[in-house]
Each structure stands twice: as structure tokens, then as C-alpha cells.
Amino acid sequence: MSTDWVVTSASVIGLGADVIAQCTFAHASRRTNQSIAFGVLCGLIVTIGVLWETTTLTLEAAPAWLMVLLTYAALSFGFWAFLNLNLTSLRIRIIREMLHMEGGISRDDLMRRYSPEEFLRRRLERLEHSSKQLTRLESGRWGLRSRTLLSVAQIMGVARVIVMPPPRDE
Amino acid sequence: MSFILGKERPHLSSAVKGRIWSEPNIAGDMAVLLAGAVLLASSFLVQLVAWRVFRPRRQLRVLLTVYAIAPLLPCAVAWAAGYAFTFSAAEVVRIALFYVSFSLAYFVAHCAIDSGSPTLDIVVYVAEAGPSGRSDADLASAFGLSDMTNRFALVEHGGMMWSDRGVFQLTPAGRFYARLFEKASRVFGLPSGG
């Protein structure tokens, strides 16, 4: 394979390494968040490794390095989003469970099975223990522990203003 | 193999054996990066205009169409202006990979921007309370029945389930996605979420 093609495929090779590393870690350790982070890191190392073997990081090669690394970032974000859907999406959980229900499910059963209390409990549990964004204050109320997701929400708010048109007056 | 528009420019990489960077080709590599960036920017601009002119009901489907067709616009403009650029097959694939991967990442972000994230809404709601925080009762009243109803409506309007006399069933598309995520859960060692 020519050098041109190796550079072009570096990001895809990195994604492959990301996927394999995440699978291996997840099955070995049963720690989901750590497996995703491990996969991203391994993929990045492999991508840089492929580029390093093929080129040297100089000013001349910088645009190609930048393009390949940005492509890897986008590909690994896509992989993370796919995994995250499985982990956090209520819609995906509903359709997965409905797959095993003969005869479907009534609206009342749906509301009973996926109650608002359960919906909230799962999210608060993840925010407290998994992503560590919220914490119980001394008063027993919920407080902010980290500003990471808050910053993401603020960025999404700005993006919503830019991308989405203002609502029409009805 | 080169893709030539207009005046031909020598392409260095094919003339060099061994390491491609033995002769610097800054202009060529920068042109590749810029080509990818211009394609993305043009698709994004077309989408912004389209969203303000007509508000599509099935946004994802229209997004896919826009991002599939919009790259033709800057290519046509470059060709009409007589701009000459030559890319090797590998560079064209690199541009395509860059464009497709960023487009797909944008579609994911767009879905989150459009339908919102209950998790982020909870964080913002707690943050707004400041040091005093929010009680369990506050959260239960703020994120209750309407959120669940919205979530179910999204599944139904997304074409993944249909209802007949109050009983919900999966559509073929819903069954396909359900099986896909079941398999993914097994392969990637994921717990059931929701």
C-alpha cells in the first residue's frame, strides 16, 4: 500500500483499534465508562503511531496530521454516540424490551413500566455515581458537583439558537 | 489517478518513491484540508438557509439529503471559476472520509440539539438553584409525566412503533433497530440503559 493510502486510512485503523480495545476492556472489567475512555485513547495512540511510521511531524506534514486526527476524533465521537444510545436512551430501552413482548404493550403498561419516577431515578443515579455531575448536599437536596455537563448544555443552547429557526407564532 | 479540473498542476506524491514527504507538498496537503473544510461549511450554510425557509418535519431525512447534495455546489462554483486542483485518489478518499465522519457527528449533535437531553435539562435545573440545590420533590414535579409522554411520542413519530386501539407494537424499522442495539449490547459489553 502506498504511503498516501496509509495516511488516508490511519483514522479508520485508529477507529478499529478503538472498537477492539473498548470491547476487550468492557468484557474483561465490566466497567463501561472506563472501557469507552480506554478505547478512545488506544485508537488515538494507534492513529498517531500509523502517522508517525509513515511521516514525520513537520510544518509541511501538519495539515495532513490535523486532517487525520480530526477525522479520527469525529469517527470516535460517532462510536461513542452509538454506545451512549444503548446506555442512556429510554427510547432504545423501550424498543429493546418490546422486541421480547408478544402481542405488544398497552399504553397503561408502558406508563407503569417506564414510570416518570423510574426515568428520573435512573438519570439521577447516573449523574451521581457514573458521571459524578451531581451530589447530595448536607441538606439532602441535589447540588452541582461538576460543571462539565453544564458547559455542554450551555454550548448546546448556543448551537440551538444558531441551527434552529425561531419558533413561529401560532 | 488524479482528478483534474481546469489547468493541470503537477502532483508530487506520485513522482516520489518511498516516503511521500521527502519533497514538501504544503500547498497540496493544505488544499486537501481546505477542500474538506469548504465542503462542510457549504453544507452547513445550505442547511441553515433551508431550515429558515422551510421547517422540515423529518429533519434527519432532509439533513441527509442536504449533506449528500450540497457538496456539489462548491465543486460547481470552483469548476465555473476555472479553479484548478488535482487530488490523488487517496486524497479524494481522505476528503470524503473527513466530510462523511464530520457530517455523521453533526447529525448526532443535531438530534440532541433538536430533541433535547433530559440528563442535561436535569443538570441545568439543579445548577439554576445555586448553592441551595433542588429537592427530590422539585425534580419529580419538573421532570414528570410530560417528559415520559414526550419520549413515547418520539418513539412513535420516529416510526419505530405504532399503536392500534391503545396497544403499541414495533414497526419493522423498530424491530431492526432493537435487534441492532441488542447485538451491540452483547458485543460491546454494555449494560441495559434507559
Record: contact B21-A60, CB cut-off 8 A: yes
> Nearest by CB to B126, which of A78, A98, A143?
A143
Q: What is the pLDDT of residue B7?
A: 36
Q: What pTM, to 2 d.p., does this model score?
A: 0.81
Write the pLDDT tens digit of every residue in B116-156: 888 888 999 999 998 899 998 888 888 866 666 666 666 66
Q: B175 touching A, CB under 8 A? A: yes
> Nearest by CB to A86, which of B91, B139, B185?
B185
The ipTM (two decimal places) reads 0.84
Query: How near does any CA of chain A get to the CA of B82, in Å?
Result: 25
Query: How near does any CA of chain B get to the CA of A52, in Å?
Result: 12
Rounded CA-CA distance A12/A69 in Å is: 10
Mode of pairing for the β-strands spanning B2-5 and A142-144: unpaired
Q: Which residue ranges of chain B lie beneath pLDDT 50?
A: 1-26
DSSP secondary structure string for all residues of B101-125: HHHHHHHHHHHHHHH--HHHHHHHH
> Phi-psi region for residue A163, left (φ > 0), alpha (ψ -120 to 50) or beta?
alpha
Record: contact B167-A106, CB cut-off 8 A: yes
Q: A167 touching B, CB under 8 A? A: no
Record: contact A89-B190, CB cut-off 8 A: no
> Phi-psi region for residue B171, left (φ > 0), alpha (ψ -120 to 50) or beta?
beta
Which three three-digit cell numbers place residue B182?
A: 441488542
- Chain A residues within 8 A of B180 when measuring between CB atoms: none
SS3 B24: coil
Q: What is the mean pLDDT of residues A143-160?
A: 90
Rounded CA-CA distance B19/B116 in Å is: 48
- Chain A residues within 8 A of B136 when measuring between CB atoms: 142
In chain A, the percentage of residues whose pLDDT exceeds 70 is 97
Note the helical H segments in chain A: 3-29, 32-54, 62-88, 90-98, 107-113, 116-125, 148-163
| Chain A residue nearest residue B45, CA to CA | A163
* C-alpha dist (Å) from residue A49 to A68, A109, A158: 12, 53, 36
Contact B138, A137 (CB under 8 A): no
Query: How near does any CA of chain B get to the CA of A32, in Å?
Result: 6
CA B166 to chain centroid, in Å, comes to 35
Q: What is the pLDDT of residue B147?
A: 61
Rounded CA-CA distance B60/B112 in Å is: 12
Contact B62, B34 (CB under 8 A): no
Residue A57: which residues within 8 A CB-CB, separation 6 or more?
A: A51, A65
Q: What is the pLDDT of residue B21?
A: 35
Q: What is the mean pLDDT of residues A71-90?
A: 91
Domain ranges of chain A: 3-88, 90-130, 132-170
Q: State yes or no: pLDDT of A43 exceeds 50.
A: yes
Q: A135 touching B, CB under 8 A? A: no
Q: State yes or no: pLDDT of A16 exceeds 70.
A: yes
